[in-house]
Amino acid sequence: MTVPVVAVVGGGPAGLMAAEAAAIRGAAVHLFDTMPSVGRKFLMAGKSGLNLTHAEPYPDFLGRFGERRDRLVTALDRFGPAAVRAWANGLGIETFVGSSGRVFPADFKAAPLLRAWLRRLRGAGVRFHVRHRWTGWDAGGYLAFDTEDGLSSFAADATILALGGASWPKLGSDGRWVEILRQKGVPVRPLLPANCGFDVDWSEHFRERFAGQPVKPAVLTAEGASHRGEFVVTATGIEGSGVYPLSAKLRDRIAADGAATLTLDLLPDHSTDRLACALSQPRRSRSLAEHLRRTVGITGVKAGLLRERSSPVELADPAVLAQRLKCLELTVVAPRPIGEAISSAGGLVWDDLSEDLMIKSLPGIFAAGEMLDWEVTTGGYLLTTCFALGKQAGEGAADWLGLPPVAQLP
């Protein structure tokens, strides 16, 4: 009996999980990646501690996906946060829950997990082909690749595309697949930056003095949504974990109106009345900077932000100063380029995918991961969803090929 061949194009988390799901069902899996080694974006994500998933209650986890929740719930029900932790444990990687609810490997590192995973994939028969850039299909309908040795073709019984979005292009996710699929008549929504920074028109003085400095703690509010966290002032604007949960709302408002308003509460643990009372104390001969430091503990970049967005008259009024500290408006004028973003939005249109993530107009061609039109904030949600969609596509390809079901992934 001939063993069906499954080609997986893309060696990120979704592609690797798709390869495992298809291999465990008995397919002969060949995985192709444009880079010299697989999992490069996975390793980059783990540089500051690999955030695998999040331990918050599962309904809250699903609620992070907004209008895409119903599209993703099938995949996440099959391979959600608990399953991710069990899967990592099966690779010999212990995990723990941090104080924020984020889940990390015990050593915080991505490399040991990736090495263990690749060993298991090779043991399952997965064959890896690196430095293979997918260019579409050749005249015979075979997968076409540009390699160091020239053009090559590959015949597969089913194909799973897991090519990522367009963030971090130097690691392989460059979005070139968009035009390839559009030429095949497959609808693709434009790829947009997600979990990204934004441009702010800082004064030259503020930029030179405070670029690179963190602002913490703060509550950031945009379009009716608020998030407590921190962010960094950059030479061009702002970025950081406090901004990312609001990035979709800010990006979409900028697209509609040309700019968006972000409101900062620079002292989230103090009331406006308390601040006004403290600031009303006589300044005597103290400078404003010294007065802010002594009365409300505002110094450095927070004091700089206050001056940047307040007039001299406002700075002289304790009541107005208190209001500014609790509700300081920043106008953001553009998201940073998609190549700088942590992830991307847009991609393959859900209505043109089957329940098993097969592209309806291209029988036998499945898609997974960031190629699909969804987005979510950082915090383990991105990685878990890529794993889940990869597993769904791998199992979908196996079902389409008629391969028998087996036990769940270890």
Please spell the DSSP secondary structure of 358-369, one letter per residue.
BBTTSTTEEE-G
pLDDT greater than 70 at residue 78: yes
Which residues lie across from 348 on neighbouring strands? 188, 372
For residue 1, what pLDDT is reported?
Answer: 66
Confidence grade of residue 51 (pLDDT, cut at 50, 70, 90): very high
pTM > 0.75: yes
User: What does the pLDDT look like over 132-141, one tens digit per residue?
Assistant: 999 999 999 9
For residue 406, what pLDDT is reported?
Answer: 81
CA-nearest of 152, 117, 139, 144 to 18 is 117
Which one-letter amino acid corresponds to residue 103?
V
Read off the pLDDT of each residue in 204-226 and give the average, rounded to a whole number.
97
pLDDT greater than 50 at residue 409: no
Cβ atoms of 342 and 378 within 8 Å: the answer is: yes
User: What does the pLDDT look like over 91-142, one tens digit per residue?
Assistant: 999 999 999 999 999 999 999 999 999 999 999 999 999 999 999 999 999 9
User: What does the pLDDT look like over 342-397, one tens digit per residue?
Assistant: 999 999 999 999 999 999 999 999 999 999 999 999 999 999 999 999 999 999 99
User: What does the pLDDT look like over 261-293, one tens digit per residue?
Assistant: 999 999 999 999 999 999 999 988 899 999 999
What residue ranges define each of the domains in the chain, with the CATH number in brackets? 5-193+344-400 (3.50.50.60), 198-335 (no CATH)
Percent of the chain with pLDDT over 70: 99
Please spell the DSSP secondary structure of 347-359, one letter per residue.
EE-GGGB-TT-BB
DSSP state of 26: T
Cβ atoms of 334 and 348 within 8 Å: the answer is: no
Read off the pLDDT of each residue in 78-82 and give the average, rounded to a whole number.
97
Kindly compute the dihedral angle of the four CA atoms of residues 181, 184, 185, 190, in this order, to the nearest 10 degrees.
20
DSSP state of 370: G
Confidence grade of residue 410 (pLDDT, cut at 50, 70, 90): very low
Read off the pLDDT of each residue in 288-304 and give the average, rounded to a whole number.
95
